[in-house]
Chain A
Amino acid sequence: MSVVSDTIDWFSDSTHWSGDDGVPHRLVQHLGYTSLTIAIAAAVAIPIGLWIGHTGRLRGLAVVSSGALRALPTLGVLTYASLYTGIGIKAAIFTLVLLAIPPLLAGAYAGLESVDRQTIDAARSIGMTEWQILTKVEVPLALPLIVGGFRSSTLQVVATATVAAYIPGPGGLGRYLIDGLALRDYPQVVAGSVVVIVLALVLDGIFVLLQRLALRNRPAPVRSTV
């Protein structure tokens, strides 16, 4: 039988839809890792990115360090982190956070940089405080690019979170891939990939809608995309 029909059989097997190893449970785990990662990464990257964008300081450092972060080999970092945190989900989350930071950081500072200097100057000269300039002018105008940062960050993490299963213990959708490869159960591997792909596409679709929403107050043509 072909892999395709085997995979369809895998999906139609009701035992794959319930219990700790079932698709719903793994999917929820996977989304849990992803949201935790994005939340931690955003808590770090967004304030720094907004500060860099608002003040224009340390921009070079941000560019270089996000470049370096992007270049890190995920599996290597994961193995290395495991040595410190022990076998478990912590190492995986740490690795994914490193991966999630650069796009978020870039979205935030590039977003703020894209705001017209004259608009900011005007806001300051009518008597807005720096905080008001940031929250009422810069962030609203930068929102499409900031959401764009979340979009690419989330997609990268959703795809890469499969490596969490590389170390024993954590679950997520990566389980199907790693375990399937170990058992040479290829229908399971393909099925796992399909679920990850569908999840990524659905999330991307949601972000497209969010970006549209962020642009709703803009009747004029707007400069866009990172």
Chain B
Amino acid sequence: MIEYRSIGKTFADGTEAVGDFSLVLPSRTTTVFVGSSGCGKTTLLRMVNRMIEPSRGQVLIDDVDIATRNKVELRRSIGYVMQHSGLLPHRKVIDNVATVLRLNGVDKSEARDRSYAVLETVGLDASLATKYPSQLSGGQQQRVGVARGLVSDPNILLMDEPFGAVDPIVREELQAELLRLQRELDKTIVFVTHDIDEAFLLGDQVVILKKGGEVAQVGSPAEILATPADDFVRSFVGLDKGHRKLHVEDRDGSRIVVDATGKAAGVLTE
């Protein structure tokens, strides 16, 4: 369980990234921070592994204030996946993945074996293991990034817009892959995105943020759609536009789901 207690962050230049933020992220669920740029979502994420220190308040993992923990040890115990894979360009794919294990003191041959195994888990062919990151496609690099985040089997996985820089088709693939992985692995995932559809797809708990880390609404995707807290949320999730307002029309005996603009969205099967 991750808990934010009255967190605030003012950067050295006076910018207030987060005003006063409190939230509990239950274990073994995916919490998605979603908002436009400048809403403090990445700042909040990076506080969990102390890449950013809060100016006020505390972050607790399993009831321990992480400010009391050694930064480097803490980071090694948490998986981290970032937007531009963040792979080391001078190391082969397999060594990039194994680095995390080596930092944790796992011996060389075991680190190698486990790295090959996790590459398979994220759907990468073993033949790519000896390539350098720049020889891989963007989607493959992101998979390696996910593999690196998972390889030491951490309880917590932080994902900072991990699929933001790949094309839509690859993004869908990676999202589906993450859902599959999460069913198997049951991690506590903190996921940051600006894409509300991605947030609804992946999140058990979705946190919609306004400027300065102010919470507009917290809830499951269904709760947010059923009872949007205010006009900001309604507009952010797209309820004021046509594509979320669905109704059923009968066409030749089939029940077709149609949105407010008249576009067919799907077929009702029940």
Interface residues of A (CB under 8 A from B): 116, 118-119, 121-129, 132, 137, 140-141, 217-220
Contact = CB atoms under 8 A, between A and B. Distances in A.
Contact of A125 (B51, B77, B90): B51
Contacts of B135: 219-220
Nearest to A124: B51
Of B80, B82, B89, B91, most buried by chain A (CB within 10 Å of CB) is B89
A140 to B, nearest CB: 5
B89 A126 contact: no
Contact of B90 (A121, A122, A128, A217): A217
8 contacts: A126-B76, A127-B73, A127-B74, A127-B75, A127-B77, A128-B103, A129-B72, A217-B91
B75 A125 contact: yes
B88 interface: yes
Given A127-B73, A129-B72, A217-B91, 12 more contacts: A116-B89, A118-B84, A118-B86, A119-B86, A121-B51, A121-B86, A122-B88, A124-B51, A126-B100, A137-B90, A218-B90, A220-B135
Interface string B73-110: 11111001010111111110000000110011000000
Contacts, number: 66
A126 B148 contact: yes
A140 B90 contact: yes
Of A122, A126, A128, A220, most buried by chain B (CB within 10 Å of CB) is A126
Contacts of A128: 72, 103
A122 B100 CA distance: 11
Interface residues of B, number: 27
A124 B87 contact: no
A122 to B, nearest CB: 3
B75 A122 contact: no
A214 to B, nearest CB: 10
Of B85, B90, B103, B148, most buried by chain A (CB within 10 Å of CB) is B90
B132 A217 contact: yes
Given A218-B89, A219-B132, A125 B84 contact: no
Contacts of A119: 86-89
Contact of A122 (B74, B77, B87, B134): B87
Contact of B76 (A118, A127, A141): A127
Nearest to B73: A127
A126 B80 contact: yes
B137 to A, nearest CB: 13
B134 A126 contact: no
B88 A123 contact: yes
Contacts of B84: 118
Contacts of A123: 86, 88
